[in-house]
Structure 1
């Protein structure tokens, strides 16, 4: 290691106990914690108790979703609540490390063990905690993590990185690491961080209602939600609307709308120009295509998008369009859903694409021009549809049960209308989902229920202020669904 890097690591050891409180406070108010933190702390506690299987955690996610804050909060937990000696906790950023030379995680940890524990990695005798931010700046992060993991059972590592391209799946470390993706904030997580930490004890009840079709708990769900809101001080009655437009990222709490738009647009630009640049074969022309596709999705209504149509739209070869879409998905800016049909036919059908959070769609459109070029109700309906898609997408990724989301491809004639989504839990009957702001014609959801032999269907709409079940159709207000 270079001398400047050694100085940086020594300073981190000495200054972090004082620095961490400043980093977790804004205007004398301590940051609340998201549910991902609680999940990570379980593995920390297990390691402290002697369990050494899950001691290599990787947190991939978009820039600005709060990964660094989680690492600081873990540091504070170890220092304050678990009374761990500061010399047994090392936090550093590979981004900062690279400014002083090559970013090499193994070299840093090896130097740390020698200088602060008079030991090699392999002979380390006491438990230590290594918290590494921006890990993608070490191009060999996976191999280095594997070597450290295999070298000792006394190191607990958490690596975070803005580039899911480098952190998602790597054969060198795949069998050893535990991948915990950090997604943009859901609405309930947004409320938890902005107003008051609370336990979302209605999420499971909403999920059960959607997939089981039973509404006997609806009054209790509504009562609990009102109770959550009643504990908030200075609550903004337009919070749900503001969340759809500008939420998803913790930094939005402390900025005005113009600043939020600039920060989101800057973040997207960094993902395309920096994170995508880490992938071999991504040239400037390819980055331009990525921007064009993202802006196209920002203005487009939700719907099927074929590779051929994008190829023609931007005069780009189909393999390049396919490659760019794949990389944009790996960065977690966008995701796709497939048609609800047989596995063989599904491979030939176009995909529908959605942003990871509605505010990405809105603010990219806002940056190019006036985002709302149509009826405001219809516009918010599109943002709501994006939120519903991302909610089911995240549910599938975070749950041990398979929750798959598809688009409806069943209409046979032009007069027919498809529902927005088909969701399926495991091998259960599919559930048709319709999304809207304002009144909604029920003909398409009734047709989908018959088509797919579903027990019931779901309409997510503000038509009713409460959960209402009419025959086999359940209407759920968006703000209640948002607690799922």
Structure 2
């Protein structure tokens, strides 16, 4: 009993100190521009303050995508409207040995907010976070916004998954990168690509030429953590993020032992090499000296943690099971930071990562196995688009053959030329990047 009283007193002291320190803790975000997603969250906050729309919003995302900064900016916006904002860094709470549910209860007891907005950073650090959010959600008295790792979805209960709204905090697009650097941008959108809208695509191409820095965006610009750093510092910082994903985040997906995590790091080195994308599980098993089943588990863990995008082969379910997937890095900068350790960075591979990142959220991506097969087949709104990517790919003949083989309606070549025909669009890669 005495121990419990002491713990609760310590928790009370911690929360009082936290509330006093928060403005100075987040002082650095005042000078930063907000990510595009901030506007969506501000709109949700306004709905709660003006109309009482309660709910739970989960913000899973890869390390380095700026989730803590996002919450800090949201914290200051809420303070401009009301003092009833609860911010708790759950990683810090866990380190101090405090329980998330008890901390929220104690905060409400101490400060007695009538209509609180609860901001929880790195919520996955609490062992019972999903139950805590479910209980709070069921009270229907709060707006809860919580960030966590990309593996957050995998640990939440089905009950919470049905209750919460998920908004992924993704790497930066080309335009968002320039927006955070202080430039005025206007998004044209990917719809112009699928509609073969020559006027809008022409604007994107001119915009891309004006902004420049395409190469730096591919190498370092997809993660906001690298914005203010030199190239050397940025590579080192991003590589450390990769190491933390391997040695910390993977444990949230599955409790791998130390030896297996070392193999996971070696696996990333293999996959980051452009020649490693068309792999077989058998060959990787021999290269890494681990079982095929372990390699498969590691690949799945990287996909679930948000580091990699898994693209299955075109064809029947049997072919999808028999053939290995193509793997792309969600953030091109993470591939660049790995490869940079040993050799020069292949920008063509980074461009394919960026294309996969842009397209995988707007449709289903597959690839065509075999020599001469299409880089991607995008299935979207009932239409099939063959997509070829490459800094030197300006020949449409391969796309024509893939359109016929795959029974696709249209083909898109992302290279260096600009040409719009009935069934084939050729667009310079900087213009493609400048769409969003």
Gaps of 5+ in 2: 1-6
Aligned to 2:111: 116
The change in CA–CA distance for 1:364 and 1:185 in structure 2 (over 3 A counts) is: same
Q: Of the candidates 338, 341, 346, which is equivalent to residue 315 of structure 2?
A: 341
Provide the C-alpha distance between the structure 2 equivalents of 1:445 and 1:163, rounded to a whole number of angstroms.
34
The change in CA–CA distance for 1:33 and 1:197 in structure 2 (over 3 A counts) is: farther
**SS of match in other structure, 2:255:** coil
Deviations along 1:246-303, whole A, 9 cap, x unmatched? 1211121211111011101111111111222345531101101110111101113364
Aligned to 1:426: 381
Instruction: Tell me how many residue pairs correspond in the alignment.
Output: 429
8 Å contact kept, 1:61–1:183: yes
Provide the C-alpha distance between the structure 1 equivalents of 2:23 and 2:161, rounded to a whole number of angstroms.
32
Aligned to 2:37: 36
Q: Of the candidates 111, 114, 135, which is equivalent to residue 123 of structure 2?
A: 135
Shift of the alpha carbon at 1:131?
0.6
Deviations along 1:17-65, whole A, 9 cap, x unmatched? 4543x1214xxxx211222112222222222233535x21111111111
**SS of match in other structure, 2:306:** coil
Aligned to 2:176: 189
Aligned to 1:14: 20
Aligned to 1:223: 203
Aligned to 1:121: none
Provide the C-alpha distance between the structure 2 equivalents of 1:343 and 1:225, rounded to a whole number of angstroms.
39
8 Å contact kept, 1:136–1:167: no
The change in CA–CA distance for 1:473 and 1:229 in structure 2 (over 3 A counts) is: closer
Q: For structure 1, which segment, 337-346 or 274-283, has the greater mean C-alpha deviation from structure 2 after superposition?
A: 274-283
Provide the C-alpha distance between the structure 1 equivalents of 2:48 and 2:91, rounded to a whole number of angstroms.
27
Shift of the alpha carbon at 1:455?
2.9
Shift of the alpha carbon at 1:94?
1.2
Q: Of the candidates 331, 349, 355, which is equivalent to residue 382 of structure 1?
A: 349
Mapping of residues 332-481 of structure 1, within 5 Å: 332-367=306-341, 369-372=342-345, 379-393=346-360, 395-396=361-362, 403-409=363-369, 417-428=372-383, 430-462=384-416, 464=417, 467-470=418-421, 472-481=423-432
Aligned to 2:3: none
RMSD: 2.2
8 Å contact kept, 1:12–1:90: no
**SS of match in other structure, 1:115:** helix
Provide the C-alpha distance between the structure 2 equivalents of 1:472 and 1:161, rounded to a whole number of angstroms.
42
**SS of match in other structure, 2:290:** coil
Mapping of residues 54-453 of structure 1, within 5 Å: 55-80=55-80, 83-85=81-83, 88-102=84-98, 104-117=99-112, 126-150=114-138, 152-165=139-152, 169-200=156-187, 202-203=188-189, 206-210=190-194, 212=195, 214-215=196-197, 218-223=198-203, 226=206, 237=212, 239-301=213-275, 303-367=277-341, 369-372=342-345, 379-393=346-360, 395-396=361-362, 403-409=363-369, 417-428=372-383, 430-453=384-407
Provide the C-alpha distance between the structure 1 equivalents of 2:253 and 2:297, rounded to a whole number of angstroms.
11
Provide the C-alpha distance between the structure 1 equivalents of 2:399 and 2:276, rounded to a whole number of angstroms.
18
Shift of the alpha carbon at 1:229?
7.7
Deviations along 1:338-394, whole A, 9 cap, x unmatched? 111123432322101111111111110112x1234xxxxxx322221121111112x
Provide the C-alpha distance between the structure 2 equivalents of 1:169 and 1:148, rounded to a whole number of angstroms.
14
Q: For structure 1, which segment, 451-460 or 138-147, has the greater mean C-alpha deviation from structure 2 after superposition?
A: 451-460
8 Å contact kept, 2:331–2:354: yes
Shift of the alpha carbon at 1:67?
0.3
The change in CA–CA distance for 1:380 and 1:163 in structure 2 (over 3 A counts) is: closer
Q: Give the structure-1-normalised TM-score.
A: 0.83
**SS of match in other structure, 1:39:** helix
Aligned to 2:4: none
8 Å contact kept, 1:65–1:250: yes
Provide the C-alpha distance between the structure 2 equivalents of 1:406 and 1:172, rounded to a whole number of angstroms.
31
Structure number with higher helix proportion: 2
The change in CA–CA distance for 1:89 and 1:187 in structure 2 (over 3 A counts) is: same
Shift of the alpha carbon at 1:168?
6.3
Gaps of 5+ in 1: 118-123, 373-378, 397-402
